[in-house]
Amino acid sequence: MLVNADVKGLEVVVAAQLSNDSVLRQEIIDKEDIHGNNQRAFGLGEGKAGRLIAKIFKFRLIYGGSAYSYAHDSDFMGVSRSERFWQEVIDKYYAKYHGIAKWHKDIDHEAKTNGCLTIPSGRYYPFGYEETQWGLKWPDTKVKNYPVQGFGADLVMLARLECNRRLREIEGPSDLLVSTIHDSIVVDTPEENVYNIGTILKESIEAVPQLCRDIWKYDFSLPLTCEVSAGPNKKDMKLLELQ
């Protein structure tokens, strides 16, 4: 059986942590429906479709989405084809999450000043103007994207290492850590071990903030949570109810 743990809202949590945005941090701590709230507040459509648009909008904006990109994307045209509409939504988002807006400006200034960005794990990214067919262009989206994606990957790495350590401590040579897919970790195990392995995965992910403090001396002050599912393959997974 495969047991799969998905970190919930990894990029959003990382963006909230790195930016120290007070509103987003509190929404995460209070376990609010962030995407549903923004769907209604920003006029992004009705029902499940509108909630999905709000979710994609948020992730894309964290990575430098523009009014032009939303207005000319078929996924968003059902809401509006107007760049003015989407710029107003972006402005509303930054007004609500002003810490994100400030952080985006700060890291852009840092990258231009120092030629690189360093994230809490010690990983660093060099930046400079890039040649395009329209001339030199500053990689604005990369500057916003790399810290979130990179630090998120490093957090999952810590969870994976902690999971592997815990697996080695139990009598279960048939329990195999087989894969990491972006924000998920997969273990192959006999069916009778599924619940125990699910618990190990859950506890390993929840331990990541403390691991940040222990290993990197960085105070990761938001909770990391996950959903754990199991099944004979990745297609036929069912959620596990863990305590």
Q: CATH number, domain at 153?
A: 3.30.70.370
pLDDT for 171: 67
Q: Do 34 and 73 belong to one domain?
A: yes
Question: CB burial class (10 A; 0-12, 13-18, 19+) of residue 93?
Answer: buried
Q: Which domain holds residue 218?
A: 1-18+140-230
Q: Is residue 33 part of a domain?
A: yes
Q: Do 14 and 49 belong to one domain?
A: no
Whole-angstrom distance, CA of residue 113 vs CA of residue 103: 15
Question: What residue has token string 């990491």?
Answer: 180
Q: Is residue 193 part of a domain?
A: yes
Q: Is residue 103 part of a domain?
A: no
pLDDT for 181: 83
CB 3 within 8 A of CB 197: yes
Domain boundary among 38, 69, 96: 96
Chain mean position to CA 163: 20
- Mean pLDDT in runs of 10 for the chain (243 residues)? 95 96 96 91 89 91 90 91 95 94 96 96 95 92 95 96 90 78 92 94 97 97 96 94 85
Q: Do 158 and 199 belong to one domain?
A: yes
Whole-angstrom distance, CA of residue 23 vs CA of residue 28: 9
Q: Do 146 and 71 belong to one domain?
A: no
Q: Do 26 and 14 belong to one domain?
A: no
Q: Is residue 120 part of a domain?
A: no
Q: Is residue 101 part of a domain?
A: no
Q: Do 8 and 33 belong to one domain?
A: no
State whether residue 118 is helix, strand or coil.
strand
Q: Is residue 235 part of a domain?
A: no
Q: Do 10 and 40 belong to one domain?
A: no
Number of domains in the chain: 2
Q: Do 150 and 189 belong to one domain?
A: yes
Q: Is residue 243 part of a domain?
A: no
Q: Do 205 and 178 belong to one domain?
A: yes
Domain boundary among 96, 129, 158: 96
- Provide the token pair at 68: 């032009």
Q: Is residue 189 part of a domain?
A: yes
Q: Do 81 and 155 belong to one domain?
A: no
CA geometry: angle 128, 132, 138, nearest 5 deg: 30
Domain boundary among 96, 127, 151: 96
Q: Do 6 and 58 belong to one domain?
A: no
Q: Do 225 and 155 belong to one domain?
A: yes
Bridge partners (DSSP) of residue 181 are: 184
- Provide the token pair at 204: 């390993």
Question: What residue has token string 């769907």?
Answer: 39
